[in-house]
Amino acid sequence: MEQNKEKIRHILQYYYDKGKNASQAANKICAVYGPDTVSISTAQRWFQRFRSGVEVVEDAPRSGRPVVENCDKIAELVERDRHSSSRSIGQELGMSHQKFISISIKKNSIKISQDFFDNPILYHSLILKKLLT
């Protein structure tokens, strides 16, 4: 079971503060949450950060536009020209074709069968059609 990474980091910090070592902390976390929850090497990296004075365990903000903003712009472009290709929309928004496809699939929960991957024209038309509905 995959746990929230920040939650695991808080638990690692707790074990660090208790004086445990990274291996002990990782083993105890995996005993409770499952064997692949945190690796010993990840625990060691976090313990090293704690030793160097870093106490922040929250995810750092990421660069780039939020996906919601991109989705709104994609929908706007498709609405303006329903015959646009996914490549041209991606270029107009300054993103790769693959990024455009990825955002479209994630945002619209598009289920794609293998037939669409084998036929790029059907694949692109499906994505554009889903964006309009």
Taking the alpha carbons of 16, 22, 23, 28 in that order, is the dihedral positive or negative?
Answer: positive
Other C-beta atoms within 10 Å of 9: how many? 20
Q: Comparing 9 with 126, which gets the higher pLDDT?
A: 9
Please check the confidence at residue 119 and state whether its pLDDT lies above 90.
Answer: no
Question: Does residue 80 sit in the same domain as residue 44?
Answer: no
Domain count of the chain? 2
Please check the confidence at residue 16 and state whether its pLDDT lies above 90.
Answer: yes
Burial of residue 38 (number of CB atoms within 10 Å: 0-12, 13-18, 19+): buried
Please check the confidence at residue 111 and state whether its pLDDT lies above 90.
Answer: no
Query: What confidence tens digit (pLDDT) does each residue in 79-88 have?
Result: 787 777 777 8
Inside any domain, residue 60: no
Inside any domain, residue 58: no
Top mean-pLDDT range of 13-17, 50-54, 109-113: 13-17
Question: Does residue 75 sit in the same domain as residue 46?
Answer: no
Average pLDDT over residues 37-63: 87
Task: Give me the domain span that covers residue 25.
Answer: 5-51
Alpha carbon of 97 to those of 23, 28, 86: distances in Å? Answer: 43, 43, 7
Question: Does residue 72 sit in the same domain as residue 44?
Answer: no
Question: Does residue 84 sit in the same domain as residue 119?
Answer: yes
Q: Comparing 13 with 61, which gets the higher pLDDT?
A: 13
- 78: its two tokens: 């498709």
**Do 117 and 106 touch, CB atoms closer than 8 A?**
no
CATH number at residue 16: 1.10.10.1450
Inside any domain, residue 40: yes
In one-letter notation, the amino acid at residue 2 is E
